[in-house]
Structure 1
């Protein structure tokens, strides 16, 4: 006959089997989540690589040179002069070193300053004049995106 000790051991063994199964089940769920995250990371990395390749294709000088010639009238691009580059000591002072204004915000709101009144008149004059029309590019026979690089098949 079964003794009570045998029944206790059977109960402990059953409990351990349930605990082992639950731990295994949680580990499998975590492994599935890790694989899903790895797949998402790989997809994001592939997307970044694709966008970098697209950026490299779009910024090729042999593509940008004809575009700059086509839209030269609208863009008015000129090369940068060496005198346009500034040294760090030539940059303006820090914001903390700027002198404080003589007028306060209350004076500006009240319009006590003559400069503020003149600026407000200029704003009103600018509002009264109609806005200039934005020039639209004319349709062209040549498509800038039709450059064949040999690396992309469409």
Structure 2
């Protein structure tokens, strides 16, 4: 009887040793992988720094001027004039100088007729009916109730 218990305990100890060794081996593998990845990250950072330094050297104005002079006949480059970018008349008009429309939104809606006018009238009717039915009118983030908004102008 004592021998069978000894054999079971030896088997349990062997299994525990195998599991412990397996866990240690996996941990060592993960540690090696982490060190390899850290080395790759350092290499990539060094490469990025080297490329930035190389870019700074390649884009030096003196170097570019020498290249322009050397390849002027092939490239036929000319300095950019300020007027080539945009003429003052090409710039958008300031908002204060925009012309006002001759027709209002209400006139456009009335002239549209049919479905558009009916849809807008339905929305207006729903807004007018909402407070009397006890349904609260939502107030947007700006703090102006929806029923106070009309044709783009807000009255406070």
Structure 2-normalised TM-score? Answer: 0.48
Considering only CA atoms, is the larger Rg found in Structure 1 or Structure 2?
A: 2
Structure 1-normalised TM-score? Answer: 0.49
Higher relative contact order (CA 8 A, sep 6+): 1
